[in-house]
Amino acid sequence: MRQADATERLGSTQIRQGPRGPWIPEAPLAPVHTDWLRNRLTVSGPASEVARFRAAARGTGGIPWQLDLDHEEARLLAPMAGQGADARALARELREVIAVRHARVIACWYEAGGCPLDLHRLIPIPDTILALGEDAPAARHWLWAQWGTTQPLRQVRVLEDNSDRRLRRSARVVYEFLSADWTPWQALLRLRQDWPTLVLAVDPRYGEINGAGDA
């Protein structure tokens, strides 16, 4: 289905590689049906820096978007329009469920979390973008331009890690994850700049597409 052009132009923001052909960062691509692509990322270098990267990368795997509850209630009520007071009551109940769940997500985000590679921890989304909400075109454009993918990584796991072994001068950690529609090339460029003593090598598995992408 897809052909990979693995050539990267490091040091340039105009990345041209990707499974769909030319990639223009200024034009976010978010197909209606998301393809979750499997990737492997190897991070290697001085043992102390690899360990520091591991600690910095750990998070919840979510994004603390701000939520417009009035908008959510109206969205829930729309399909039930004309059904009277019962529909409005149900929409309000669902609004409260969403509010409680969202508050739980926000509270958990400030904890260490169980996701070993969280892009929002490494390349945080500004508060001004979070305030727009995840469905805002400007928010999706930011994710596209800064991460190279418009959703958080999923099914993140560590395949190999020797960063905590004592008396080692060098170490490496290998992550596996799913990314929405694209390998997060822009994020990798940024991380290479932010962590110059580390080597970050990505291995996109374009032939391994997971349509579900369940966490």
User: How many domains, in total, are found in the chain?
Assistant: 2
pTM attached to this predicted model: 0.71
| Mean pLDDT value of segment 11-38 | 54
CA distance 184 to 194: 15
Q: Which residues contact 148 (CB under 8 A, 6 or more apart)?
A: 15, 23, 25, 182, 183, 184, 185, 186, 187, 188
**Model confidence at 70, in pLDDT bands (50, 70, 90)?**
low
Same structural domain for residues 160 and 81?
A: no
- pLDDT tens digits, 45-65: 999 999 999 999 999 888 888
Contact present, 41 and 202 (Cβ < 8 Å): yes
Residue 73 has what pLDDT? 61
- pLDDT tens digits, 112-143: 678 999 999 999 999 899 988 888 889 989 99
State percent of the chain over pLDDT 70. 67
Same structural domain for residues 165 and 212?
A: yes
Say if residue 215's pLDDT is above 60. no
CA distance 57 to 115: 8
Contacts 24+ apart (CB under 8 A), 76-84: none
In terms of residue numbers, what domain contains 171?
16-58+117-215
Average pLDDT, the chain: 78
Whether residue 128 is contained in a domain is answered as yes
Same structural domain for residues 152 and 207?
A: yes
Same structural domain for residues 173 and 67?
A: no
Whether residue 7 is contained in a domain is answered as no
- Residues paired with residue 53 on neighbouring β-strands, in sequence order: none
Same structural domain for residues 26 and 132?
A: yes
